[in-house]
Amino acid sequence: MTEETFAEARPSAADRAKDVAMRAKDAGSVALGQLTSWDFFKWTVVALLALNLLVMILFFGGIKSSLAELKQDKAAPDQSAADVRAEVGKQMADVKAALTQAIADMQSGLHDDIAKINAKLDARTAQAPPQPKPVAQPATPKPAVAAKPKRPVTTQP
């Protein structure tokens, strides 16, 4: 008997939905009344807070995409040490071959230039007879400079 007295009838889903809708309508009308009474300062603060939230979301999205990119790069297999060593060895061999070729080209060019200069010098010496060197006249001696007499050192008593 006591159980029957305190037992309430459970409201149906439609009754609960109506109750929630009425509460939302009351809350909405209260919120609308408050919003219409705000001044410029309060609206500015709300706008700045919304802008701050938007900027934070954008930065978070950028950081998240950067982290995803780093994880993807980390997951990609890198060249093994042997591959890198082989690539560096190949590049060094190419540089050494290029340097050897450049030195050989410079040497052959230098030998050609020296041969041309020697040919020109030989042609000049064959055309002109050697000229005697002028005889240098003996240099005249300079007159000796007379030395100044020294003062005797005197001591004071």
Beta carbons within 8 Å of 11's beta carbon, 6+ residues apart: 19
pLDDT of residue 64: 87
Torsion of CA 19, 25, 27, 28, to 10 degrees: 160
Coil, helix or strand at residue 130: coil
Mean pLDDT for all residues in the chain: 82
Q: Which two tokens stand for residue 58?
A: 């954008």
pLDDT of residue 112: 92
38: left (phi over 0), alpha (psi -120 to 50) or beta: beta
Q: What's the rounded Cα separation, in Å, for the pair 30 and 103? A: 91
pLDDT band at residue 85 using 50, 70 and 90 as cut-offs: confident
User: What pTM does this model have?
Assistant: 0.31
More confident residue, 6 or 137: 137
Coil, helix or strand at residue 22: helix
